Amino acid sequence: MRRLKRNRVGHLISKGSERVSEMTENNHVAVAEAPQSNQEQTEPIVRYRKVSKSFGDNQVLKEVDFDLYPGERVAVIGPSGSGKTTMARLLMTLEKPTSGTIEVDGRQLWHKEVKGKLVPADEKHLHEVRGDIGMVFQHFHLFPHMNILKNVSVAPIKVLGLSKEEAEERAKTMLDKVGMSDKLEAYPANLSGGQQQRVAIARALVMRPKVMLFDEPTSALDPELVGEVLDVIKEIAAEGEMAMMLITHEMSFARDVADRIVFFDEGRIIEQGRPEQIFTAPKTDRLQEFLKRFELNGSSS
């Protein structure tokens, strides 16, 4: 596992800013100020290039370029309908890009190379590349017909081919990590939303993905249950093993956890940078507008 030890953040943002400056025709684009320290060059684990996605006439993503580095934690914020979820779903192969390419760890995701030419990927190719990605959904999507232990161990058994004992061992370790090891026999219907989401996190973690996607993991939860889930995510983030893309409306959480904040609006990345900069000195009007809505909640203090 390649890991960024020193100056991870600064280096990443400089990468981001090079790209951002390419699209300066898009009036509002801001460049993050960042220390330029390019000595230690690391390849991104995920690379979006000119990725567009339309649903019918509705163009949801507009030639998005985006890099995610190993171990990096990026929070994606932006107004409703701006295309954040779609970004993540393209990487999870739940949705197919209309144009553009996505690379995962040096391999094309939606295309495969046949005699030097890129052709659309088939299920087999997706299966190979997808193993590096994991996802936690807004609505958990636990399997209601399986108990908790089975929910977390089914994929290691069936997909990774582990033995039942080994898979359950792994599953229990993960469930312990999310504080759910006392409910192994329970069924999802009997758990609170917060508990379900913690199990869903364990279910994704147990596959040991290199990149983990969180799509608003707490926005379907009752307010009093949000904290327990955020704590679990923070803990995982602190381990720094996986790259994480956190789509969230929890600004204070984004600021605490993320190395980089990406602000999305109308299918484009409008501004990105370190949390301090994004929250204290937003450059674009749109981000300022957007952040104003959260000030009432006291999230910037």
Binder to another protein among 4, 23, 92, 184 (CB under 8 A)?
A: 92
The beta strands (E) that lie in the chain are given as 46-55, 58-68, 73-77, 99-104, 107-108, 111-114, 117-120, 133-136, 211-215, 243-247, 260-265, 268-273
Among 79, 100, 187, 294, binds another protein (CB under 8 A): 187
Q: How far is the CB of 108 from ligand ATP (least distance, A)?
A: 22
Q: How far is the CB of 296 from ligand ATP (least distance, A)?
A: 18
Which of 14, 17, 82, 85 is in the footprint of another protein by CB under 8 A? 85
Under rule CB under 5 A, residue 272 binds Mg ion: no
Q: Which is nearer to ligand ATP, 17 or 82 (CB)?
A: 82
Q: Which residues, 97 to 136, sit near another protein by CB under 8 A? A: 123, 127, 130-131, 133-135
Q: Residue type at 131?
A: G
Query: Nearest CA to 234 among 258, 250, 216?
Result: 258
- CA distances (Å), origin 1, targets 7, 124, 196, 243, 292: 17, 25, 29, 11, 39
Instruction: Name the closest residue to ligand ATP (Cβ).
Output: 85
Identify the burial level of 294 via C-beta atoms within 10 angstroms of its C-beta, where 0-12 means exposed, 13-18 middle and 19 or more buried. Answer: middle
What is the 8-class DSSP label of residue 9? H
- Residues making up the chain, counted from first to last: 301
CB 80 → ligand ATP: shortest distance, Å? 3
Of 41 and 58, which CB lies nearer to ligand ATP in the complex structure?
A: 58
Of 263 and 279, nearer to ligand ATP (C-beta) is 263
Distance CA 9, CA 11 (A): 5
Between strands 117-120 and 99-104, the pairing is unpaired
Q: Which is nearer to ligand ATP, 140 or 148 (CB)?
A: 140
Q: Please give the residues from 60 up to 89 whose contact with Mg ion meets the rule CB under 5 A.
A: 85
Contact indicator for 211, 104 with CB cutoff of 8 Å? yes
Partner that binds at residue 55, options another protein, ligand ATP, Mg ion, none, CB closer than 5 to 8 Å by kind: ligand ATP
Measured from the CB atom, is 11 or 140 closer to ligand ATP?
140
Of 12-20, 87-95, 109-117, 222-230, the segment contacting another protein by CB under 8 A is 87-95
Task: Kindly state whether residue 158 participates in binding another protein, applying the rule CB under 8 A.
Answer: yes
Cα(131)–Cα(225) distance, integer angstroms: 30
Taking the complex as a whole, the smallest distance from the CB of residue 80 to Mg ion amounts, in Å, to: 7
Residue whose tokens read 């069936």: 158
Q: At closest approach, how far in Å is the CB of 157 from Mg ion?
A: 31
CA distance 87 to 97: 9
What sign does the dihedral 198-249-299-260 (CA atoms) show?
positive
CB of 78 to ligand ATP, least distance (A): 6
Q: Which residues bind ligand ATP (CB under 6 A)?
A: 55, 58, 60, 78, 80-86
Residues that bind Mg ion (CB under 5 A): 85
Residues that bind another protein (CB under 8 A): 85, 92-94, 123, 127, 130-131, 133-135, 137-139, 141-145, 154-155, 158-159, 187-189, 200, 203-204, 207
